[in-house]
Structure 1
Amino acid sequence: MKIFKSHFWYNKNQRNGIFLLGIIIIILQILIYADVFSEDKPIDNNQSELFAFQKQIDSLKLVEIENRKPKIYPFNPNYISDFKGEQLGMSLEEIDRLLAFRKMNKFVNSKKEFQNVTKVSDSLLNKISPYFKFPDWVVKQNQAKNSSSQYSDKTFYKKKEIKISTTDINKATAEDFKAINGIGPAFSERIIKYRSKLQGFTFINQLYEVWGLEKEVADKVLAVFKIQQKPIIKKININTVEFKELLKNPYIDYELCKKIFNYRDEVAELQNISELKNIKDFPLDKYDRIVLYLLAE
């Protein structure tokens, strides 16, 4: 008992101090309780300023959302890749149709032709066609077509008839090609230049490979000009040809040239030119054209 008594026994001054401390604690508790449960004082807010501030925040949110959207910049639809086509909303089938068309070394020169090739819907075409960017000469050609369609056949200026010197497409001159409606100086020279690059047309449909030449115009050319005598093409030996020389083949690009040389290194020597078909990812659709310029000796 003495032990407990020593801990709980206080003198008068100590008891007074404890009593005073208790009173102070009670007063503080009352003040805290009264402050917590007191009603909030009304805040004088300027509603017009708050509304304007909220409107500014909303506009900034809209700007940020717009900035996060993927941007579409002007582009040439002839060079749409798988990734780009998917971004634009094209299906895989539509992209494949365009890529197959381009593999034939053909180009679309208007949004209508793009739709004819890819079979995209009108809604998607209207959405992406404003971003189509064609070369200047294509734009001018389309403008000329549109302006000419506004006139009737009676008022349209008829092209002066030109007598052709031959119907052999490999011997025809630039002037001969100008006799075809739709072929002017630029396209006639382009046909001649491409014919020289090929060393002459061996297949009649090689004319469709001329850059920018529309199928309808090419059909008009082929209705008059034919291959009456196939050209004699100078062939090069695939086993001894140098890289730069092989690259001059109009149907061989840099990547295919590398694959051919890698294959030649593997087999040491090609016994037959048909071995090119063994190369991985070799463009079989171009085989007949590629081997026009090659032989294996």
Structure 2
Amino acid sequence: MNVQLPYFTRKQRAGIIALILLIVLLQLILFFVKNTDNGKEMANYEIDEEVQLQIDRQKQALLKSYETQPFNPNFITDAKGFKLGMTTEEIDKLVAFRASGKYVNSAAEFQKVTGVSTEWLNKNAPYFKFPDWTQTQNRPSSQNQTNVSVTKIDLNKATVQQLIAIKGIGEYYANAVISERERLNGFVSTDQINFIKGLRPEAVNVLKQNTFVNKQAIQKVNVNNASKEELAEIPYISPYIARQIVLLRSKSDQPLKIEDLEKINNFPLDKLQIIRLYLNF
């Protein structure tokens, strides 16, 4: 079978050749453009790498300066302690001391509690930052120093503005105190500040130093004849604890004493001395 090939005129052949040349030219242009872009990318990569090195240097400088910023040694974490060169034993002593609800208020006291060396203390103590009121408290008295009496505020009459005026007590803490006072129908002891949710230990200490509670007439409840509903209305006594008091009372041949409440499972022992202010035995 004979296949007849297409016939192209001279003009058509010239057009085909021109098309082929155009395609080759476009391929060459794309090749050079691609290589140029790659070169730019490499150049940008080199620039980015140099910029990153500068950023890393600045970051290290910032971290170094941050480490030397003043800090409250009461809140040294494990990571911070190790970074400062403290031993595990020294850190554990600080944690145990803080767990008891106490604070160190001077470099000397910090060394006494943790047992750090004098060399360590001389190196790091300049960066210790304690609350201002602790420094005022620890400052030695002078004969030429004028005694300034601090006027304390009645915690049951204090306004939000009066509490905010206390240094270290902001609006949030002031409102938390007022809310707790309303919930308890008044405070019977400044120790109740310890149990206000949301207050940092520093704020608790400042409030207790600048406030007082007048001994007010409390409608006490007789623990030996009160109903469980009456007992449950006492601050810090839950309905469960109230039922347990009534149950313990029913099993006892003698009237209950304050010490007997310690036998109740899950009794809030940390609030026992406050609860007893609401009770008669």
The TM-score range, normalised by the shorter chain, is 0.3 to 0.5
Give TM-score, length-normalised by structure 2. 0.40
